[in-house]
Amino acid sequence: MTITAAADGSALGNPGPAGWAWYVDDDCWAAGGWPHGTNNMGELRAVLELFRATEHVDDDLHILCDSKYVIDSITKWMPGWKKKGWKKGDGKPVMNLELMQEIDAAIAGRRYRFEWVKGHVGHRLNEAADIRARTAAEAYQRKTTVPEGPGWTHGGSAEAPSETASEPERAEPAAVTPTVVEVDEPRTAPVFDAEDDGALFSLDVEPTWHTLTLEVTADEHERLVRRAREAGTSVEDLLRSLI
């Protein structure tokens, strides 16, 4: 059997109030965050908590992720970083080191593959994870209760996410070769990517964003989500279409 889940992160202001979420279906998802963090931290934490939530489930894990930084970090760059004492090619420390090391421990012996999906184009699982991650970030921004979700509900046993959870001792794992599936997207001018040990440039260019915060009621939020789904787009793009 294969578990298919989306993992996503969100940071308001980047850095700012940040959230993470993984999502399988409406009955099986989890979310959390911090008062201050980055989008990359949210993306990484979502993947970490997905691995932790499924550590007692003997199924392959198919992870949908819209962050090539996360996918490349785990599947391409991490082995080289470890050999260099968790340093990058320029000798500088790896960014988000603690999260990277926790992920490295969590994936040991696991059967998994990543699939890159383009964000904010109406992909059902990706949008569901994105909405929950952003909702968590907004809760930290407003200092309200964070909707943490039901957690893992599809068999097996897993503890709820914990900021201080320690990793269990593991037997020496067999070698696992991750698989990455990517979908072509339009490319723009290259920029320097300091995270990539193997290449001087990355073709992934993030646009400049301005954050607009809009307070809505729970009913208004439900209507926005429903209308976005009916239109086959995200809530953000639905609102952006009105500009």
The residue ranges of every structural domain in the chain are: 2-186
| H or E segment to which residue 35 belongs | strand 28-37
Task: Dump pLDDT digits (tens) for 208-221.
Answer: 445 566 666 766 76
- Per CATH, the number for 2-186 is 3.30.420.10
The rounded distance, in Å, linking the Cα atoms of 35 and 137 is 8
The string of pLDDT tens digits covering residues 140-190 is: 999 999 999 999 999 754 444 444 333 333 333 334 444 444 433 333 333
Query: Catalytic annotation on 115?
Result: no
Q: In terms of pTM, does the model score above 0.85?
A: no
Active-site residue, selected from the candidate residues 16, 37, 42, 66: 66
Q: What does residue 28 show for φ and ψ, rounded to 5 degrees?
A: -145, 90
Does the active-site annotation cover 9?
A: yes
Mean pLDDT of 29-46: 98
196 is catalytic: no
Question: Is 43 part of the annotated catalytic residue set?
Answer: yes
Q: Is 130 a catalytic residue?
A: yes
Point out the catalytic residue in the list 120, 123, 154, 221.
120
Higher pLDDT, 195 or 164: 195
Check if 27 is active-site: no
CA–CA separation, 70 and 73 (whole Å): 5
Coil, strand, or helix at residue 204?
coil
- H or E segment to which residue 14 belongs: none
